[in-house]
Structure 1
């Protein structure tokens, strides 16, 4: 199998162990330990020795992008899967994703993602355009589905990427995973970069993985803080990638977020509003 799988982990042996043991034995597996405590690091290294995975350790938490890029630099095969550690892979999923990369017009392939209860949580979205931003601000997105940020996977401009397959040459061409963010929106940036090469994103329903969403983040932050950080990085990425159009789109979208927070209240909406404002200001 001409596939390398990079599994990024931080302070989590149990989920990482389950992830690695669900991967195809023919794949090259690289486990990147992003600065875990000594006891967890020892357990991870022992598991890698047992399963044949390669263990890499960073003494500090590098964040998602830098940690993934560290792992990629130690891969040797022509196709790479970037995997969160809270993933369990069903039989045949890696083969299905790799097969879609046989098409030279496909730049990255994404699976069906189920939650731990078996419900479909495959997440996809549209890039934040001026029209989408204005529709969000005015409420038109409620009656015009194609102007909503969230989209069905078949229509997605970008996908949430807890498990994504990409050719190594494509990853090299885009400069690896964008390191502009410590955590969140790396998948949006990756999809943007792949599309700028003129390549398509493939949704592969037959490839199925289970994902315990935000397992690492939930151990570190409450839900409102996760919402704030996700929104901040979404706005920042959308603003930076699309130039002046992105700035207009993000300003309009933030106006809609502020109006909803003012009308609906609630801790989560207020956190989202703070994140949107921070995203407009972030450098």
Structure 2
């Protein structure tokens, strides 16, 4: 790991053919009012987005580029970025997010309020300001996942046993302890990140944020969301350009999480049924996702 520079906030942004949104993200981070660095990790982009960013910020020493020879996946790329980052606070930010100018100051103020904080989430919003899904999440156990997929989770206010994975948008009040937060903007003190060994590199894309939150909690830290801090997210540029690729890895990630953490995975019959169910769900999505990809390619 790199030397720990107290007071420096390290933003880690992973790019993989992220398009024009990447430039907007980098512009916003470098405009943040605080001591910071931006580690841009490139997963073998070929769309020219990295070159455009370098041309625009060639004179800014706070921007550091790490090029990977291939697309290593999100978690592995984050780990490599964190390994050369110098700050004592790490902010993993999606390349289609826009950071507000006071982001670093507000995050550090919140972290300083509780030394037990291991993961801090924010109120991620759509570009129009509407709170996005997934800001406050519960662990995706089999029971909760079934309640969500079946629609029964809509009845959880009356029957708590039917609670699903998703929680309603966070009220903009005090810091709230939750089981997991959105991976679009994940904030960790370096000490917590190193304590758990960073992201599990067995995930390529999706569910690695849930895994990280779980292991941070298991290590005795607190996972919380500060909904007073808002970050706009364009919601999945990669998902729109490569929907089948992203969906396949999302289902792989869910399977890995299930086998690592859900007690139901110890039952051989349930294990088989869940595996079949996950991939049946993917297969059912294939025609629609393929059509979506063809429509985008035709534009």
TM-score, normalised to structure 2's length? 0.76
**1:1-283 equivalence runs, <5 A:** 1-23=7-29, 24-25=32-33, 26-37=35-46, 39-52=48-61, 53-102=63-112, 103-123=114-134, 124-129=136-141, 131-132=143-144, 135=147, 141-145=153-157, 146=160, 147-152=163-168, 153=170, 156-221=178-243, 226-227=246-247, 229-242=249-262, 244-247=263-266, 251=270, 270-271=284-285
- Relative to its length, the structure with more helix (as a share) is 1
Deviation at residue 13 of structure 1 after TM alignment: 4.6
SS in 2 for 1:165: strand
Is the 8 Å Cα contact of residues 238 and 246 (structure 2) preserved in structure 1?
Answer: no
Distance in 2 between residues matched to 1:11 and 1:181, nearest whole Å: 19
Distance in 1 between residues matched to 2:269 and 2:215, nearest whole Å: 19
Q: 1:77 to 1:240 in 2, by over 3 A?
A: same
| Cα deviation 1:85-105 (Å, max 9, x = unaligned) | 101012322222222222111
Q: 1:55 to 1:156 in 2, by over 3 A?
A: same
Q: How many residues align?
A: 262
Deviation at residue 269 of structure 1 after TM alignment: 8.9
Is the 8 Å Cα contact of residues 97 and 110 (structure 1) preserved in structure 2?
Answer: no
Deviation at residue 16 of structure 1 after TM alignment: 1.6
Provide the aligned C-alpha RMSD in A.
3.2
SS in 1 for 2:122: strand
| Cα deviation 1:163-199 (Å, max 9, x = unaligned) | 1110111111111111111111111011001100111
Is the 8 Å Cα contact of residues 23 and 49 (structure 2) preserved in structure 1?
Answer: no
Deviation at residue 137 of structure 1 after TM alignment: 8.4
SS in 2 for 1:151: coil
User: What are the ranges of 5 or more consecutive residues in structure 2 without an aligned counterpart?
Assistant: 1-6, 171-175, 287-299
Q: 1:50 to 1:246 in 2, by over 3 A?
A: farther
Q: 1:104 to 1:42 in 2, by over 3 A?
A: same
User: What are the ranges of 5 or more consecutive residues in structure 1 without an aligned counterpart?
Assistant: 262-266, 273-283
SS in 1 for 2:58: helix
Q: 1:268 to 1:246 in 2, by over 3 A?
A: closer
Is the 8 Å Cα contact of residues 20 and 49 (structure 2) preserved in structure 1?
Answer: no
Distance in 1 between residues matched to 2:84 and 2:50, nearest whole Å: 19
| Cα deviation 1:201-236 (Å, max 9, x = unaligned) | 1211121111111111211125xx645543442232
